[in-house]
Amino acid sequence: MARSKLLVLSLFYAQLVTAFLSSLQPATVHQAGKDQKVLSFFAYRRSPLLFVSNDESPSVNIDSANEHNLRFSGVGRLYTDHNVPFPTENPHLTILDSLMKATVVVIGLGGVGSWSAEALCRSGIGNLVLIDM
């Protein structure tokens, strides 16, 4: 009896963590101008970051594919091997596609597992399987 309650509680906890991690979506992406790169975006709903290079007020004008590339492009650049020739102009986008298709299983969502799951989510891993007892 106690084991079944523990299993239900663990599944509830995994769903709660999954719901929390999936709620960390960018709220808005701003663009400074048509011929300028996107300079600013809200990293998360509760901690807005805004950097604009000129006096124009930014406008929201970006699609979801570019939003994903902007959010995780730093991770793609971090894992890109610049000594290997890539067939594309932006090799970090190839890395981002690989991360988006990856599936990672985290067993145990305690002190280390919860931080690992959050880091994997923030790194752009496409599928997370969270298991906790």
- Lookup result for tokens 């975006």: 41
**Residues in a beta bridge with 104:** 128
**pLDDT tens digits along 48-74:** 444 444 445 555 556 666 666 666 666
* C-alpha to C-alpha distance for 8 and 133, rounded to whole angstroms: 9
Amino acid at 92: H
- List, in order, residues 6 or more apart from 77 with CB less than 8 Å away: 92
Q: What is the value of pTM for the model shown?
A: 0.42
Whether the predicted pLDDT of 116 surpasses 70: yes
**pLDDT tens digits along 2-37:** 555 444 445 556 565 555 555 554 444 444 444 433
| 70 within 8 A of 49, measured Cβ to Cβ | no
* C-alpha to C-alpha distance for 67 and 70, rounded to whole angstroms: 5
Residue 95: CB atoms within 10 A of its CB come to 21
